[in-house]
Amino acid sequence: MVPEKSIARRLLSSLVQWVDSDYSIESPDFIRAQPDGVNLVRCIPFAVLHLGCLGVIWTGGGWFAAGAAVTLYFTRMFAVTGIYHRYFSHKSYSTSRFGQFLLALFGATCVQRGALWWAYHHRHHHQHSDEPEDAHSPHIHGFWWSHIGWITSRRNFPTDYSKIRDLARYPELVFLNRFDILVPVLFAAALFGSGHLLEHAAPSLQTNGMQLLVWGFFISTTALFHGTSCINSLAHLMGSRRFNTEDDSRNSFVLSLITLGEGWHNNHHRYMSATRQGFYWWEIDITYYLLRALSWTGFIYDLKEVPASIYREAELRNHHDSVARFSVSSIQDEINTLKRVMPTAAAIAIATVNSPALAGQIKQIEDPPTLQRTSELLVPVQFPASLPRSDT
Q: What angle do CA 138, 142, 144 make, to 5 degrees?
A: 95
> Considering beta carbons, is residue 220 or 249 the nearer one to Zn ion?
249
Closest C-alpha to 263, from 292, 296, 239:
239
Helices and strands (H, E) in the chain, number of each type:
22, 2
Q: State the first-to-last Cα distance of the chain, in angstroms, to the nearest integer.
A: 90
Cβ 74 to Zn ion shortest distance, Å: 20
Identity of the residue, 249 or 275, whose beta carbon is nearer to Zn ion in the bound complex: 249
Q: Which residues of 313-326 are buried (b: 16+ CB within 10 A; e: fewer)?
A: bbeebeebeebbee
Q: CB within 8 A of 276, min separation 6: which ones?
A: 261, 285, 288, 305, 306
Query: What is the contact mask toward Zn ion in residues 94 to 133, using x (rule: CB under 5 A)?
Result: ----------------------------------------
Per CB under 5 A, the segment of 245-253, 279-287, 293-301, 358-366 that binds Zn ion is 245-253
Least distance (Å) between residue 89 CB and Zn ion: 5
Site string for Zn ion, 248-287 (x = CB under 5 A): -x--------------------------------------
Sole window of 169-177, 244-252, 302-310, 353-361 interacting with Zn ion (rule: CB under 5 A): 244-252
Distance from C-alpha of 248 to C-alpha of 265, rounded to nearest angstrom: 10
Q: For Zn ion, which stretch binds (CB under 5 A), given 27-35, 94-102, 247-255, 319-327?
A: 247-255
Report 22-81 residues binding Zn ion (CB under 5 A).
none
Q: Does residue 153 contact residue 182 with C-beta atoms inside 8 Å? A: no
Sequence letter at residue 26: E
Candidates 64-72, 155-163, 195-203, 243-251; binding stretch for Zn ion (CB under 5 A):
243-251
Min dist CB 265 to Zn ion, Å, is 6
Shortest distance (Å) from residue 177 CB to Zn ion: 18
Do residues 49 and 221 lie in contact, with contact meaning Cβ atoms separated by under 8 Å? yes
Query: Which residues of this chain interact with Zn ion, rule CB under 5 A?
Result: 249
